[in-house]
A and B are shown apart, each in its own frame.
Chain A
Amino acid sequence: MGALGKPIILMVTMYLFLKFVLPNIPGSAPLPSSLIFLYLLLTASGIIIYETLSGESKDAFWGPMQRFLTGEKIGGLQALRYGVLILFPLLVGWQTYGSTATSDLPPTEGRTIHPAPPGEYTGLSNPVPKTPDNIMQGKGFYAAFCSPCHGGNFDGKGPAARGFNPPPANFADPTTIAMLQESYLFWRIKKGGVGLPIEGAPWRSAMPRWEVELPDEWIWKIIMGEYDGAHQSPRTWE
């Protein structure tokens, strides 16, 4: 195997790391196969680039594969060669069958978490003055209406959260409400899950349509309370 050994070991190590080590780091979770494939693809590209940087390394890397596939001076490996030449097309066929055959598994879903808001919600600014009283009031409304799911710590871990898939948003995560303008949150709270556009998979969200329960002023106050409680700031342009 010679120079082929290292790349094979590297690919296997990488796979084992992504599949078994990374998910077991505290606070982590198993990686979806799409991401594992992406990272393995990058690793393979790196190996090919590095091994073909010079004539010598290219020959050392590609030479054994070429000799094996052409059957040139491989001695007792002939049987293995025929095995590979027969099994590889079968493997490709199996993969193709697997990806096209009818399955009872639900399809992979590319759900857009933050789809674009309708035009009437863009450019709105919070009409409620940002005073300590209003923020406190907003937190009170939040505790009453939102915290059962989104959590008292604004971390998406309310007592009811475990019952939902997808789980309620974690506002303390800097990649959620900190990326959005207040008008966006106003739209999401007011219209709830059913108000999401198709790419946001409205059938998946359990977020209530709060416009039937709460006046607009309360919603704006809740938004202020959320940002303050989660220690985040809304996206602004000034």
Chain B
Amino acid sequence: MQQGVGMIQRAFRAVGGHGGWLAALLLTAGWLALPSFGFAAEGAAAGPTEYRDIPYVGSRNLIWVVAQLHLLLAGFVLGVPIFAWLCEVIAWRGGEKRYDKLAKEFTKLLTSAYATTALFGGILLFILVIFYPKLMNYLTDVFFPSFLLYCLLFLFETATLYLYWYGWDAMQHGRMKTLHVFLGFLLNFFALFIMIVPNAWATFQASPVVISEGTAIERAWAATWNPTWWPINIHRFIANIVLGGYICGAYAGVRYLSVKSAEDREHYDWMGYVGNFIGVFGLLALPFAGYWLMREIYQYNQQMGITLMGGFLSWLFIIQAMLIGVLFLGSNYYFWLGITYRIPGSEGKYRRAMLMMLVSLLLCLAVWMTPHSLVASIEEAQKMGGAHHPLLGVLGVMSAKMTVSNLMILITFMSFVMYWRAGKQDTARWAKLGKAVMGAVLVLASLAVIVLGVWGYFVPAIVRINYFSTSQVLIVIFVILTITPLTALLLKSARTTTEMIWGSMPPRAGYALVLNAVMIILLMTLMGYARSSSRVHWHVYGVMRDSSPYAYSPALGSASLIMALCTFFFCILVAFIFWVATMGDKTKPAAASGKGELPHGIPAMAGGAPEERQQG
């Protein structure tokens, strides 16, 4: 014993000044070894181990945070290639080089985030296997064919991404460019499947389809094609675009605030605009996809539907309304700042319209945020005659929410059209008629959406859900599909009265972009909790019960702490990744002036920018 103590003392003396590091390493190793105590405890009992735990943190909390971070990173990594590739196609077909530069910049962010996403995926898998062996065993038994497919897809995706990124400069011309664009398509193709394959595992837990007969592939396929698989696929596909757009917008916003040269300010101002544009246009479609998903969940199981929308999770949808409201306000604010600052002289012309749009948006938001059951003291509830307000209570149900969300989409779309038209004068002979038609379409559509919303209170729920809500969505789509080509036609022959000045936005525009990104991250963490908690005490709904000490839904207050923590971690992570990714850019001018051009094809870390052959 004495000898042992002496050895430890000698070891400490040997490391000398590095004792702090050693202590930190020992602490980390000790913490990581903590689950082994759980393992030992479980091992003493008869039968296989079902759960393990980690003291202080809790296995569920750890998995929650890691899974959410992985999902957010994955959302970014799968969303960005879509519009990076579209930008490249625009540059390729239209010849505008700046779009190619933008696509490359998007891909740089993507490449740097890709490795971290995979890393968090790996960590998630390990901790799931460690802490929830029974569940993972069951899921593996059901899904092992798609696990193998997923590995294969990941290999293809990685290879394609590396070829796409590192080959960017080398494949700039002729047939090579065509090949590069094809690589971009392949990247998105694999990315889509990388998203939908694990979606099957997650949706299976919520709405399982279990068959006992058939081959392993037949069983896996039946489990994959479960009732909420496609609604989630569509919802996540759009949400990933929104997340990617807003995060790229925030990146541009931060860069815009920090760069010095006029050229860089112009570039990042434009990049911020494109990011916001992508985010907004995804956001326009997102409520429709969300509504469809909720409908399918409700139809699949009344208990799950009510837990989400009428039960204890329904309060989350009020917070959701607030976050979406901030997103709509932030995006519109950015458009309006663009009109004021990028197109000098337009402010006076559009200020009144902006005010009307703002008031309409706020009214819609007020309706969306009004809960059905209000938070009230007993005294207040007595005065109201219950938790429902006799007058405003009607605003708390889906008919009102659907109506205002559609109106907010219409307003945001018109905000964009206004931005598009600012600084231009129509010269077409049919301009007056065209504008009258657009105005009439907009007014009639808004009225129709409101009428259907009010009428929705007086018809059976199924009529409202299947016909009225769908009609509202179709009306909004009709407006977008009518006004967009008409405006494009009008602007084709329009005279530019004021040139757009990029790089003239005030700092608050950059902050608005950052705010939007934080809101969408918070929103995704919030809905991640809602989706997961809707299973209540089931690992696989109705099939495998959660018998761990964590078989309860955390209270909304403590859940919101974890959501905030996930958002904070993700922002820090993304900031770090982007900082590393752009480190090379800062040293490049100095290196270029001192050493001349570096040879191409030198292996670089993921995200390190290949040298640009064509500047400007």
Contacts and interface: CB of A to CB of B under 8 A. Distances in A.
Interface in B495-549: 506, 508, 536, 542
A184 B302 contact: yes
B381 A46 contact: no
A49 B358 contact: yes
Interface string A140-175: 000000000000000000000000011100000111
A115 B385 CA distance: 20
Interface string A178-212: 11010110000000000000010000000000000
Interface in A8-29: 22, 25, 27-29
Interface residues of B, number: 64
Interface stretch (A67-75, A76-84, A92-100, A116-124): A116-124
A54 B392 CA distance: 35
A115 B308 CA distance: 9
Contact of B392 (A31, A52, A53, A110): A31
B458 interface: yes
Nearest to B382: A165
B383 interface: yes
Nearest to A164: B386
A199 B336 contact: no
A125 B615 CA distance: 69
B377 interface: yes
A236 B375 contact: no
Contacts of B329: 45, 49
B381 A109 contact: yes
B183 interface: no
Contact of B397 (A22, A107, A175): A175
Given A53-B337, A112-B310, A236 B372 contact: no
A173 to B, nearest CB: 8
A115 B460 CA distance: 21
B390 A28 contact: yes
B302 A110 contact: no
B380 A33 contact: yes
Nearest to A168: B386
A49 B372 CA distance: 28
B184 interface: no
B373 A50 contact: no
A38 interface: yes
Residue with the highest number of chain B CB atoms closer than 10 Å, among A27, A33, A174: A174
B262 interface: no
B358 A46 contact: yes
B310 A54 contact: no
Given A31-B389, A49-B358, 18 more contacts: A28-B391, A29-B383, A30-B384, A32-B380, A53-B354, A54-B340, A54-B341, A54-B351, A105-B379, A112-B310, A113-B372, A115-B312, A116-B310, A167-B385, A174-B457, A175-B394, A235-B461, A237-B299
Interface of A: 22, 25, 27-35, 38-39, 42-43, 45-46, 49-50, 52-55, 105-119, 122-123, 165-167, 173-175, 178-179, 181, 183-184, 199, 233-238
6 contacts: A34-B376, A53-B337, A109-B376, A116-B302, A175-B388, A237-B462
